[in-house]
Amino acid sequence: MTNNWIEIAISTTVVVGELLYEFLETEGAKGVIMGEWASGKKSEYTVVKAYFLEDTKNIDELIGKISQKLDFYSESGLNKGSGEIVSKVVNEDSWANAWKAYFKTFKIGKNLIVKPLWDKYKPKKKDLVIDFDPGMAFGSGAHPSTHLCMEKLEEMASGYTDKKNCNVLDLGTGSGILAITLSLLGFEKITAIDIDLVSIRASEENFRINKNNINLFQGELKDCKETYDLIVGNLLAEIIENIAGELYKKINKGGIFMGSGIIRRKEDDVTSALINAGFELIEKKYMENWVLLLFRKI
């Protein structure tokens, strides 16, 4: 079945684009792309493209809200660029193909290689290759929040001496990219969950291609029956804040929560929520406007 999607393209600056990213996802965008990553050129200006299921949104109302957001950022002293907003209907195929045109193999950290299925790549000796197709799900590896998680997981992996028995959860797996990363890094007890069916379908296929033995289901943290030594959640700040108590319940003593997808200005809110729930903050890492926070359950 091919669904139709509404593409909303917003011409703005990279700074405002990143702030909009979060807003668009909260509004239900199933995918958000920043043109800047496409061309690989660093420029102050970009086009943000957000994709919504055709039947889920009142598009005029949404465009109005985006326009108000742009004005708000502009009034706060940020450069919103031209602020032009254009919408059109696209079918799933053209969306998928739009991705393919500018999604090329790239490296994260020391040895992690993110490779789209349709690209050719000759692996080097130490490479850990994630060979996958994100499809309509979030998680191409290009977003700073995913990048931060992958880099940190690679860095931390050698510190886990008993990876066979370490129980790990990828909370909000999207395309499955972080669960596959964990598997390549040697973890063997991995669960991946997502509330979104499109993500479940995409990650299921990607786990099959990568021959990963990952326990996958559709649901949220409270649906998990087990407790974990490590939970990775590349979710939005608000979502992490809301589930702080549940995270505490689902993590073993001394276990780690890696929280990503947090826009810098929300860093303190997320930190307070997790500390109030009983965690200690052990590390933070920044990339562009995003921060990754690492907590330990005391």
- Residues near 259 by beta carbon (within 8 Å), at least 6 away in sequence: 233, 235, 240, 270, 274, 292, 293, 294, 295
95 or 138: CB nearest ligand SAH: 138
Asked whether position 199 contacts ligand SAH by CB under 6 A, the answer is yes
- The full length of the chain comes to 298
Among 54, 127, 196, 205, binds ligand SAH (CB under 6 A): 196
Asked whether position 181 contacts ligand SAH by CB under 6 A, the answer is no
Q: Least separation, in Å, of the C-beta of 142 and ligand SAH? A: 9
Contacts with ligand SAH by CB under 6 A: the residue count is 20
Interacting residues with ligand SAH between 217 and 236 (CB under 6 A)? 220, 234-235
Q: Least separation, in Å, of the C-beta of 211 and ligand SAH? A: 19
Interacting residues with ligand SAH between 65 and 94 (CB under 6 A)? none
- The whole-angstrom separation of Cα 11 and Cα 108 is 28
- The whole-angstrom separation of Cα 81 and Cα 225 is 48
Stretch touching ligand SAH by CB under 6 A, among 64-72, 131-139, 249-257, 280-288 = 131-139
35 or 144: CB nearest ligand SAH: 144
Q: Least separation, in Å, of the C-beta of 139 and ligand SAH? A: 3
137 or 293: CB nearest ligand SAH: 137
Asked whether position 116 contacts ligand SAH by CB under 6 A, the answer is no
Stretch touching ligand SAH by CB under 6 A, among 46-54, 81-89, 167-175, 247-255 = 167-175
User: Nearest residue by C-beta to ligand SAH?
Assistant: 172
Q: Least separation, in Å, of the C-beta of 140 and ligand SAH? A: 7
Among 173, 183, 191, 212, binds ligand SAH (CB under 6 A): 173
- Class of residue 171 by CB neighbours under 10 A (exposed 0-12, middle 13-18, buried 19+): buried
Asked whether position 135 contacts ligand SAH by CB under 6 A, the answer is no
Asked whether position 33 contacts ligand SAH by CB under 6 A, the answer is no
Interacting residues with ligand SAH between 236 and 275 (CB under 6 A)? 239
193 or 262: CB nearest ligand SAH: 193
Interacting residues toward ligand SAH by CB under 6 A: 137-139, 146, 149, 171-174, 177-178, 193-196, 199, 220, 234-235, 239
